[in-house]
């Protein structure tokens, strides 16, 4: 009888709506805590134009000039250990962690960056100091955690891996949801009237890491021997919108083993 009851319970859980299986915190909100890693479904990764026709950003003339400057006259800021900020981290292929409390939600990133979003109902500062992640405030809208960010830096910043630009007029709204127990999702709305002719969105999902998985220490600036040899721009962009070479040159053969020392 117990076996039959267990079978019915398992069947009922399998048939339950995915939303009902989402873990929740004590205050009833979806539990966003955990280690999150990218999925193969995010294509192209690292490109905020992912969801736009032809991967074409709606750049203004000033935005075109900023894009040309980024791709021909600047080194990738993250290669110089400068914070990537958002929306770049929303497009990144690197894993991250979320720490959720009733007072704030914290994002911990692979490069040892972090951001703390208050959820206590505060408003934006009247004149925030420009920063890479912007002045961020958060609130819950039903089961969506909404982050509203303004007050961004406009120098030494790339909006994604490909060198896409953003200005100090950038306004980002993120809606974080947990559609099921194994995934987290974000819809990012990007508004920047200086560099883009219209508002556009970028959406993607991540999957949960293994239980107990966490980020390790990463010291970006330690022994950065390649810093002085970095070139400008992101390098080649493949037709699919990802960064990198199409046909990578094969590695040279390994050197022969050293001859034994004669005694």
pLDDT tens string 9-59: 454 444 445 556 899 999 999 999 999 999 988 999 999 999 999 999 999
Reply yes or no on whether the pLDDT at 189 is more than 80: yes
Contact at 8 Å (CB) between 93 and 107?
A: no
Contact at 8 Å (CB) between 103 and 118?
A: yes
Residue 251, in any domain of the structure: no
Residue 43, in any domain of the structure: yes
Q: How far apart are CA 51 and CA 82, in angstroms?
A: 27
DSSP-assigned letter for residue 123? P
- What range does the domain containing 149 cover? 32-227
The fraction of the chain above a pLDDT of 70, given in percent, is 89
Name which of 90-104, 183-197, 239-253 the model is least confident about. Answer: 239-253
Please tell me which residue, 190 or 229, carries the higher pLDDT value.
Answer: 190
What is the layout of strands, in order, in the sheet containing 144-150? 114-118, 104-109, 96-100, 34-38, 200-208, 183-191, 171-180, 144-150, 135-141
Q: Which tokens go with 128?
A: 């925030």
Q: How many domains does the chain have?
A: 1
Contact at 8 Å (CB) between 161 and 234?
A: yes
Residue 12, in any domain of the structure: no
CATH number at residue 175: 2.40.128.20
Residue 219, in any domain of the structure: yes
Reply yes or no on whether the pLDDT at 7 is more than 50: no
3-state class of 5 per DSSP? helix
What's the pLDDT at 259? 80
Residue 50, in any domain of the structure: yes
Residue 171, in any domain of the structure: yes
Q: How far apart are CA 200 and CA 59, in angstroms?
A: 11
pLDDT tens sequence across 206-246: 999 998 899 998 888 777 766 666 778 888 788 888 877 77
Residue 248, in any domain of the structure: no
Residue 123, in any domain of the structure: yes
């Amino acid at each position: 009888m117990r076996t039959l009851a267990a079978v019915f319970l398992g069947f009922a859980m399998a048939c339950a709506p995915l939303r009902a299986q989402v873990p929740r915190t004590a205050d009833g909100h979806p539990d966003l805590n955990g280690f999150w890693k990218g999925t193969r479904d995010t294509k192209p990764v690292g490109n905020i134009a992912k969801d736009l026709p032809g991967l074409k950003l709606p750049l203004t003339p000033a935005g075109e000039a900023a894009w040309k400057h980024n791709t021909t006259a600047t080194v990738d800021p993250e290669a110089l250990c400068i914070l990537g900020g958002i929306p770049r981290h929303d497009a990144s292929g690197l894993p991250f962690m979320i720490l959720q409390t009733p007072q704030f939600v914290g994002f911990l990133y692979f490069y040892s960056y972090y951001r703390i979003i208050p959820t206590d109902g505060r408003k934006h500062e009247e004149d925030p100091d420009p920063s890479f992640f912007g002045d961020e405030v958060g609130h819950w809208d039903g089961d969506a955690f909404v982050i509203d960010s303004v007050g961004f830096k406009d120098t030494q910043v790339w909006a994604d891996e490909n060198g896409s630009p953003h200005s100090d007029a950038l306004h980002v709204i993120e809606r974080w949801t947990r559609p099921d127990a194994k995934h987290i999702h974000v819809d990012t709305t990007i508004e920047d009237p200086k560099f883009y002719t219209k508002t556009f969105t970028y959406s993607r999902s991540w999957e949960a890491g293994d239980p107990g998985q966490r980020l390790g220490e990463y010291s970006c600036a330690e022994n950065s021997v390649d810093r002085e040899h970095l070139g400008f721009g992101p390098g080649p962009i493949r037709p699919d919108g990802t960064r990198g070479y199409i046909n990578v040159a094969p590695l040279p053969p390994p050197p022969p083993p050293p001859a034994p020392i004669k005694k």
